[in-house]
């Protein structure tokens, strides 16, 4: 399905030597500049991610986590889990005995050790030509000399102003006289610039030992269990991806503690339906997708956790027979009584870069909620994520908070592989929405043959609690059809997530990039 040139929109980007797609034009340009300077796709991805940590501070930062997939021709796909852990002293039973039944929004334990900086270093060590000293140069420049706030960034920033005012560090570094910046305002982060310079000069040690000490001091009065040793002991890990076939395309995700497994479960369920015969934006297709998602998220919420604590093997959850049983629970005529939906919220940046040698990097970095925990260190200017909010408190659950344990993590980069070669690097931002976003994009491409940009642009649906939440692009007829099937439909104030993708056309030697209009970003090739 090609783009309709009568309608507003954007074309996919075509190039041969390199392609980058990010959620901010400055980051996309940084990635291309890095490629032109002789860097690999990994160098470009880290440089772009660091830039996004400055120009999209509500979505990502050095105080967050990072996950990455790297595909090289003729080599196994490499995965990296750059998520941080809870404190060594963390105990679910202590919270349970105190009457705590959920990780509340104000809990000090929602902050876990940030994994991004160590992950950036590890990715460059394994796949880059440059070090952190060179990769961080653009981010240092923008944080020191300033950058204009982009329109979507400004729109989101305004929603968080009140929460930022509640924290001295966050108010100092991320507000202007107590208000959020407007589109076009020039923002500078001198404290963050100094911290980035220290990391560029001394590597991860400057973050996990030097800045880490201030993070611990900032969190201690709030009751956090984190210590300097928790930061000094942090290490990410190389992991083996998990894969499932969807109508001939192998979809590659990272294993738990990420939720990529839910995307594969969801696609496996959808494979049992002839989606190609349905209107891609019609009520029946959307109803099936919603029902399949509710089942897939029930699997996630029951089983996905730090893999050291999971009680079932990931391979059993992506078994095709298991998916057929789940698909049998879907009634095409009405919404079934299924487990409740995941908790809404959360924000992320996803980016992808492919270079001349066809190294494909699928890369995601996140603070989880907008501006993370809303807590920033006053001296070093580090905004802290709230990834620990994904823990549960029930001591009997595999995802219960515990000593040096990683929470279930929502950020999931992905790849599409056919005949042993990577032909798609993609991701869809939006916290809990991400598995739904992955499935929506893949089915748009595979079942409906959509152009890459068209596939990203299609209107989205998801759910919050017992409500079905749709974007404004969903037609009145589709909403009526969903309502008739028992959905309580509401239109969402802000769109669902964002997406970037790069496809590799091996036959023609072509790269095709696409970036979501729901964000400020773009794809750039050369």
Residues marked active site are found at 348
Question: Residue 122 phi/psi, 5° resolution?
Answer: -65, -40
User: What is the residue whose two structure tokens read 């515990």?
Assistant: 402
Which of these, 442, 391, 434, lies nearest to 411 by C-alpha position? 434
DSSP character at residue 354: E
Q: At what angle do helices 260-270 and 283-303 cross, to 10 degrees?
A: 140
**Burial readout 18-27 (b: 16 or more C-beta within 10 A, e: otherwise):** bbbbbbbebb
Burial of 510 (0-12, 13-18, 19+ CB in 10 A): middle
Rounded CA-CA distance 238/259 in Å is 17
Which of these, 59, 53, 63, 65, lies nearest to 189 by C-alpha position? 53
Which pair of tokens denotes residue 163?
């929460």
Residue 330 and residue 292 in contact, taking contact as beta carbons nearer than 8 Å: yes
CA of residue 497 relative to chain centroid, distance: 9
Residue 128, SS3 per DSSP: coil
Which residues have a Cβ under 8 Å from the Cβ of 270 and sit 6 or more positions away? Answer: 246, 288, 289, 292, 439, 443
Which of these, 357, 291, 302, lies nearest to 326 by C-alpha position? 291
Beta bridge partners of 402: none
Distance set, CA 250 to CA 92, 144, 242, 267, 512 (Å): 38, 43, 10, 11, 19
Neighbour count for residue 163 (Cβ, 10 Å): 17
Distance set, CA 275 to CA 37, 272, 288, 501 (Å): 44, 9, 9, 22
* Number of residues written out for the chain: 526
DSSP character at residue 441: H
Which pair of tokens denotes residue 116?
């991004």
Residue 21, SS3 per DSSP: strand
* Continuous H helices in 304-365: 314-317, 320-327
Residue 239 and residue 118 in contact, taking contact as beta carbons nearer than 8 Å: no
Which of these, 27, 71, 72, 63, lies nearest to 45 by C-alpha position? 27
Kind plus residue range of the DSSP H or E element containing 298: helix 283-303
Residue 335 and residue 341 in contact, taking contact as beta carbons nearer than 8 Å: no
Rounded CA-CA distance 32/340 in Å is 43
């Amino acid at each position: 399905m090609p783009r309709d040139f009568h309608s507003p929109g954007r074309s996919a980007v075509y190039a041969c030597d390199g392609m980058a797609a990010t959620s901010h034009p400055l980051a996309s340009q940084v990635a291309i500049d890095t490629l032109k300077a002789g860097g690999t796709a990994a160098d470009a991805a880290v440089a772009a991610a660091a830039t996004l940590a400055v120009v999209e501070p509500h979505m990502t930062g050095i105080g967050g986590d990072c996950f990455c997939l790297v595909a090289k021709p003729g080599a196994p796909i490499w995965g990296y889990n750059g998520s941080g852990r809870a404190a060594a002293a963390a105990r679910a039973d202590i919270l349970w005995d105190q009457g705590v039944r959920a990780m509340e929004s104000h809990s000090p334990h929602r902050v876990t050790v940030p994994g991004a900086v160590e992950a950036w270093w590890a990715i460059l060590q394994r796949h880059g030509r440059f070090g952190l000293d060179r990769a961080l140069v653009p981010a240092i420049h923008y944080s020191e000399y300033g950058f204009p706030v982009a329109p979507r960034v400004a729109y989101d920033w305004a929603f968080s102003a009140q929460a930022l005012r509640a924290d001295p560090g966050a108010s100092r570094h991320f507000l202007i006289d107590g208000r959020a910046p407007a589109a076009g305002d020039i923002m500078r982060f001198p404290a963050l610039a100094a911290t980035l310079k220290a990391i560029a000069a001394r590597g991860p040690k400057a973050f996990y030992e030097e800045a880490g000490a201030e993070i611990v001091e900032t969190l201690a009065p709030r009751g956090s269990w984190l210590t300097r040793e928790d930061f000094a002991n942090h290490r990410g890990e190389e992991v083996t991806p998990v894969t499932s076939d969807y109508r001939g395309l192998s979809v590659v995700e990272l294993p738990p503690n990420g939720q990529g497994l839910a995307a594969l479960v969801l696609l496996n369920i959808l494979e049992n339906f002839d989606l190609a015969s349905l209107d891609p934006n019609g009520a029946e297709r959307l109803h099936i997708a919603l029902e399949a998602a509710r089942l897939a998220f029930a699997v996630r919420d029951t089983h996905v956790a730090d893999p050291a604590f999971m009680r079932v093997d990931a391979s059993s959850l992506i078994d095709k027979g298991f998916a057929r049983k789940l698909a049998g629970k879907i009634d095409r005529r009405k919404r079934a009584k299924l487990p409740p939906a995941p908790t809404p919220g959360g924000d992320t940046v996803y980016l992808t870069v492919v270079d001349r040698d066809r190294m494909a990097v699928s890369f995601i970095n996140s603070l989880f909620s907008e501006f993370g925990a809303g807590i920033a260190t006053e001296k070093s200017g580090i905004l802290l994520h709230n990834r620990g909010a994904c823990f549960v408190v029930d001591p009997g659950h595999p995802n219960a908070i515990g000593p040096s344990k990683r929470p279930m993590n929502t950020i999931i980069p992905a790849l599409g592989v056919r005949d042993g070669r990577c032909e798609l690097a993609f991701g869809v931002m939006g916290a809990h929405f991400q598995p739904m976003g992955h499935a929506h994009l893949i089915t748009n491409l595979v079942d409906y043959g959509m152009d890459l940009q068209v596939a990203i642009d299609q209107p989205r649906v998801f759910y919050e609690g017992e409500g079905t939440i749709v974007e404004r692009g969903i037609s009145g007829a589709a909403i009526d059809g969903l309502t008739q099937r028992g959905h309580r439909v509401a239109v969402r104030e802000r769109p669902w997530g964002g997406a970037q993708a790069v496809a590799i056309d091996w036959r023609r030697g072509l790269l095709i990039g696409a970036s979501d209009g729901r964000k400020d970003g773009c794809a750039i090739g050369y």
